[in-house]
Structure 1
Amino acid sequence: MDTTQLLKGVLDAAVLAVVEQEDGYGYDIVRRLRARGVESGEASVYGTLRRLYASGSLTSYVVPSEEGPHRKYYGITPHGREALKIQRKEWQEFAGTVAGLLGERNEAAR
């Protein structure tokens, strides 16, 4: 199954969940998402970070790096924590609904 369209609907929540665990810079967040099985393009993640920052869900700060350019780190705000709480609830409800539908289909096919 091509999960591209599914991912578009949950990338905000996935990014917020990763940043809730620990602040991170762009590519670090991409790596952590991939390590958890979320295969999203870097451009999509960076765009999501910018959008979440603009909405007040994320804060940012710059950390100097001796190995290259300074890194812009993102952290979750109280607004972002509330948004993630709502998105978790909505995801649970939606996933339960879809699981029920798929289960009904499987039962009807027997």
Structure 2
Amino acid sequence: MNERSQLLKGILEGCILAVISRETVYGYELAVKLQQQGIDVKEGSIYPLLLRLQKEKLIHGEMKASGSGPNRKYYKLTPAGEASLKAFRENWKALKQPVDQLLDEEES
């Protein structure tokens, strides 16, 4: 596993919650939205995370008919998921600033 993958592994859950907080999405659509943001993640690695987030009651999945093909499971945040996303944002901000500062100092 490369360094980027290791870094992403630690923040992917928060990124998934952030996407789902904006709109209900299904798994493939979620992967596309993450890729559009420059977060290269394979669809196959998202589903185990979605399953875990659902077991932890951070998201809720609901099967809906699809206009093109089989039914899809759409995910939305639960109140616990909203709280988890809020905590992630706070932790990210607290960590991002000192790391950016350290890295910026090295470049100078």
TM-score (norm 1): 0.90
The one-letter code sitting in structure 1 at the alignment partner of 2:34 is L
User: After the TM superposition, which segments of 4 or more aligned residues of structure 1 sit over 6 Å from their partners?
Assistant: none
Q: Could you say which residue in structure 2 is the equivalent of 1:77?
A: 78
1:2: how far off?
4.3
Task: Write the mapping of 1:1-110 to structure 2, written as runs, cut at 5 A.
Answer: 2-107=3-108
- Structure 1 distance, partners of 2:47, 2:88, is 20
Alpha-carbon displacement from aligned partner over 1:73-99 (angstroms, at most 9, x marks no partner):
100111000000000110111111111
Could you say what secondary structure the match of 2:75 adopts?
strand
Measure how far apart 1:28 and its partner are: 0.6
SS of alignment partner, residue 14 of structure 2: helix
**1:80 counterpart letter in structure 2:** G
Greater Rg, structure 1 or structure 2? 1
Q: Identify which range, 63-72 or 9-18, moves more after superposition.
A: 63-72
77-86 or 61-70, which moves further after superposition? Answer: 61-70
Question: What amino acid is the match of 2:19?
Answer: V
Q: Which moved more, 1:40-49 or 1:77-86?
A: 40-49
Q: How high is the TM-score relative to the length of structure 2?
A: 0.92
Distance 1:43 1:70 in 2: 18
Over aligned residue pairs, what C-alpha RMSD do you find? 1.4
Name the aligned partner's letter for residue 65 of structure 1: S
SS in 1 for 2:60: strand
Q: Which amino acid aligns with 2:99?
A: V
Number of residue pairs matched by the alignment:
107
For residues 33 and 106 of structure 1, what CA distance do their matches in structure 2 show?
29
**TM-superposition CA deviations, 1:56-82 (whole Å, max 9, x none):** 100011101242111011001110000
* SS of match in other structure, 1:3: helix
The Cα shift of 1:102 comes to 1.2
